[in-house]
Chain A
Amino acid sequence: MKYLDEFADPELARGLLDDIARTVTRPWSIMEVCGGQTHTIIRNGIDQLLPDDVTLIHGPGCPVCVTPLETIDRALAIAARPEVIFCTFGDMARVPGSNGDLLSVKAAGGDVRLVYSPLDAVHLARQFPEREVVFFAIGFETTAPANAMTVHMARRLELTNFSLLVSHVLVPPAMTAILEAPRRRVQGFLAAGHVCTVMGMAQYVPLVERYQVPIVVTGFEPLDVLEGIRRVLAQLEEGRAELENAYPRAVSFEGNPTARRVVDEVFEVCDRQWRGIGLIPRSGWRLAPAFAEFDAEQRFDVGSIVAEESPRCRSGEVLQGHITPPQCEAFGTECTPRSPLGAPMVSSEGACAAYYQFRRLNGPALASS
């Protein structure tokens, strides 16, 4: 497939790796923010091919992983109602709440549907006017345009049986929180390319200036990730801190203004709890007052549900880059993709799932490199 195979070419990868090896003269730590990039890194062994001086720290960019436990418990409560068809992305269905997950609600008779696109939920609402169709609207800025479009459509189609359970999160405030953390190790960032297809690059300018940290917008194929790493390292070695775009085939500086306009209309910025991390100010989106009629939390009165985490899950430390998954005592023993303690073991972007799938037979010595 065009735009895929050529960005996984082993010979070109070798050239980039050699260039990196020639550039690096001392230890550096770089964070890849997005879980999709974490999977590319672990799956292709990129971390093991880099010089020993380069440490990759896995970031919190897995929306399923950071969706707060309370929100999942609210989803479970709504999904269990007999009148509800609860629609979710497949990733979310097995994320553990305080008491079971969406699939266990389904097993107990709840009508939980795994959908590919939020538009599928709108279609279900048209198809079943006598039922309440709820869509679990989670994700970063990448997913927000799709989720925002559903309420636009529902309004146009005059659907009164459609609502959203919204738990959107935003990347730049999370990067700020990481840069402000007292145990900060991150010296440069690979910014999530697909977030930037929507939001553009302007929001990183103040971060680069204020924290003097290199930020390189990076894609998801193996060569894209290597190029992002190469450019951050070149900046660090030369003492520069700049915003660069290593994914120009998909990202422009201004992003997608059409998508941003709809998102700005439907959502408003709010404080948000991140599972495993805590409250980050102004780091989320919720429905704007003009669209309150589509808010499932109000429609089903689940706002008062609160919850507590499993003490055995160290996903908060994983999400903040303090430990790698194999350093958690429960990894691969008590916690596996079949019976996860925490969300990062479930999601296709979770760091624990990536290590479990591609690295668990190598032993902890390699995994923590």
Chain B
Amino acid sequence: MCLGIPGRVEEVWEADGTRMATVDFSGIRKEVCLAYVPDVVVGDYTIIHVGFALTRLDEASALETLALFREAGLLDQELGTA
């Protein structure tokens, strides 16, 4: 239910005054509502939940988090515990 899935915005349009988009989920395309993410544009990744985009995924934060994970592993190697 709270499962939110990342997807890439492929196309944006308006329907009945609401911003809508086609979003690609690893090859599966779905129509989603962009009413809650006014800044999202084509090419952005968002978290989609029950047909609504809830947040724009921040690439810089994602890369930072991954770098942090790598550091945790490297630290262990240096300490000889890995």
- A residues near B (Cβ < 8 Å) are 1-4, 6-7, 9, 11-12, 14-16, 18-19, 21-22, 34-36, 61-64, 89, 91, 116-120, 138-140, 142-143, 145-146, 149, 153, 156-157, 192, 194-195, 197-198, 220, 223, 227, 230, 246, 248-252, 256, 258-259, 262, 347-349
Q: What residues of chain B lie closer than 8 Å to A248, measured between beta carbons? A: 58, 61, 64-65
Q: Distance (Å) between the CB of A270 and the closest chain B CB?
A: 20
CA distance A220 to B64 in the complex (A): 17
Please determine whether A12 and B1 come into contact, CB atoms closer than 8 angstroms.
no
Interface residues on chain B, number (Cβ under 8 Å): 45
CA distance A135 to B37 in the complex (A): 24
Task: With A3-B6, A198-B54, A347-B1 given, name 13 new contacts (CB 8 A).
Answer: A2-B8, A2-B45, A4-B26, A9-B69, A16-B73, A18-B81, A116-B30, A156-B16, A194-B47, A249-B57, A249-B58, A249-B61, A259-B36
- B residues near A (Cβ < 8 Å) are 1-4, 6, 8, 16-18, 25-26, 30, 32-33, 35-38, 45, 47, 49-52, 54-55, 57-59, 61-62, 64-66, 68-70, 72-76, 79, 81-82
Given the contacts A12-B66, A250-B57, A258-B38, A2 and B6 also touching, CB distance less than 8 Å = yes
Please determine whether A146 and B50 come into contact, CB atoms closer than 8 angstroms.
yes
Q: Contact partner of B79 among A16, A22, A119, A252, CB < 8 A?
A: A22
Please determine whether B62 and A249 come into contact, CB atoms closer than 8 angstroms.
yes
Q: What residues of chain B lie closer than 8 Å to A252, measured between beta carbons? A: 55
Q: Contact partner of A153 among B16, B37, B68, B72, CB < 8 A?
A: B16
CA distance A251 to B70 in the complex (A): 21
Q: What residues of chain B lie closer than 8 Å to A119, measured between beta carbons? A: 33, 51
Q: What residues of chain A lie closer than 8 Å to B70, measured between beta carbons? A: 12, 15
Please determine whether A149 and B47 come into contact, CB atoms closer than 8 angstroms.
no
Most-contacted residue by chain A among B25, B32, B35 (CB, 10 A):
B35
Q: Distance (Å) between the CB of A74 and the closest chain B CB?
A: 19
Q: What residues of chain B lie closer than 8 Å to A157, measured between beta carbons? A: 16
Q: What residues of chain B lie closer than 8 Å to A153, measured between beta carbons? A: 16, 18
| Residue of A whose beta carbon sits closest to that of B71 | A15
| Residue of A whose beta carbon sits closest to that of B79 | A22
Q: Contact partner of A140 among B1, B26, B51, CB < 8 A?
A: B1
Q: Distance (Å) between the CB of A230 and the closest chain B CB?
A: 7
CA distance A15 to B81 in the complex (A): 10
